Amino acid sequence: MSGSQTQPVPIGNWTQYIKNTLTGSNNFIQFLIGKSGGGLDNPTEADCDKAFNASYQCGNGKNKLINIPSGSRGQTVVFDCRDETAICSGFKLTLGDDGNLVMTNSKNEHIWSSNTSKTGISLEKYKAANGKYKRNFIKSGEILEIGEFIGSPSGNCYLQMVKKQDANAGLELRYEVTDCSSKTDTLTKGNSKYSNGLYSVPKTNINNLNKVGYVTDDGKLREYPSDMITHGNNYYLLGNYSNEGNNIDTIQNSSVDGCKEKCNSNNECAGFIFNSADKTCQIKTSSMFPNSNRVPDKNSELYVRSKSVSNNASCTKNINASNAMEWDLYPAGTKMSMDTLCQLGLVTAKEKAELDAANQNLHGLSSNLESKLKDLTQEDEKLVSMLGYNVNKLKKDLNSYEKVYKVAKKHDDNFNRAAAQYEDTSLSMISRNYQYLLWTILAIIIIIGSIRVTR
């Protein structure tokens, strides 16, 4: 919004009147409330008590409210977006002779700098006065088409929108080391190595419009096939556009919410056009935008129906809006399928694979343990068998030992008896010998006595 105006309007519902007026670039509009416009007619008592309530939005800012609880007739209502306009329009990108680009806001505060410092020779043709805007800066809302530039005050560097070999456009900060350039396709080019690329805008691939994909954890884009995509119940407002043809039905005396409800009830509905002037709603097929052109129309609003997907339970069903250029930035992966696992499903599958591997390892250990136990059991059986054999043999040996012991003991007893008899016999013999000796000695003594007596 820009400019200022005061308009008389009648008492009643102003919504449509104000909505049609607050378009374009106006930033300050005043309305005088009155029954017939000027507020000079004698109002009825009911008109004097009329209240006035309105809400409006400046750009994408917060809603502003106007509230006159009663007696609004003859009062002036102001819709003011001057502060927001000053903030939005106050940005400026300035190129200096030092080769640096500086962006400032409405308060002249530096918010960005290219931090470049290379410059070349000063050339008249690249001076700021010979650029598109005849100055060394570009303001909010101003653009550079391919081949257009803004120069530094001395012309020792310049900012130019250039065309790339791949048909993309890019903004470059350039400088010349010699006064030598060539013209190709109305584009003035210096030596490309004497430039600083600031950004490039790739050519939009319209074939990517209306697609749905899933971005994996490793940054790959997996596209959903058409048989997994259906219509959702949310809508994206693309602005004040109409779209000719592709109609399913036209609803009279409707509203945006009524259009949505009607579209949601039809599986073939891909969106709608709501005309705020005549309150009509045109329900569209999938051949509507982006598959067909859109036409600017201040009274029309273009709504595109969101998408819904069927997928594996581990995958999200939330769909976020993006653009065709962003789609091209992702490396393509394989297409989605109902068996495709996502996030928790992948983690679960990984954990399951690890668990399966652990189970297999445990099974191998169990098999080895079972084999070892079997070997030990067999060894135990052998040991038990050998032990049983040894026990039996020991019992037999003990029986033999017992028999030998008994025989030995018997022989020992016999020996003891024989020894006793021998001892007894020896003692008897000794006793007899003693007696014999005594008798012999006595006989000798007697003989000796006899001899002596005889003598």
Choosing from 342, 374, 392, the residue where a domain stops is 342
Q: Residue 262: helix, strand or coil by DSSP?
A: helix
Looking at the fold, whether 105 and 75 belong to one and the same domain comes out as: no
Cβ-defined contacts of 47-56 (< 8 Å, 24+): 47/11, 47/73, 48/73, 50/11, 52/14, 52/77, 54/14, 54/18, 54/79, 56/18, 56/22
| Beta strand pairing call for 195-201 and 221-223 | unpaired
- Domain of 59? 6-87
Q: Looking at the domain assignment, is residue 412 inside a domain?
A: no
**pLDDT at residue number 32:** 72
Cα angle 452, 454, 455; round to 5: 65
* Helix ranges, 241-343 (H): 256-264, 324-329
**pLDDT at residue number 166:** 58
Looking at the fold, whether 221 and 338 belong to one and the same domain comes out as: yes
Choosing from 159, 180, 201, the residue where a domain stops is 201
Looking at the fold, whether 247 and 335 belong to one and the same domain comes out as: yes
Angstrom distance (rounded) from CA 82 to CA 76: 17
Quote the pTM value.
0.39
Residues shown for the chain: 455
Read off the CATH number of the domain in which 311 is found.
3.50.4.10
CA 65 distance to own-chain centroid? 40
The answer to whether residues 163 and 169 touch, using CB atoms and an 8 Å cutoff, is: yes
**pLDDT at residue number 34:** 62
Looking at the fold, whether 27 and 71 belong to one and the same domain comes out as: yes
- DSSP letter, residue 309: E
In the predicted model, residues of the chain with pLDDT beneath 50 are 1-7, 23-24, 35-47, 182-191
**pLDDT at residue number 3:** 37
pLDDT in tens, 107-121: 888 888 888 888 888
**pLDDT at residue number 142:** 86
Q: Looking at the domain assignment, is residue 217 inside a domain?
A: yes
The answer to whether residues 147 and 171 touch, using CB atoms and an 8 Å cutoff, is: no
User: Look-up: residue for tokens 């007894």?
Assistant: 424
**pLDDT at residue number 455:** 53
Q: How many CA atoms lie within 13 A of 126 on its CB side?
A: 31
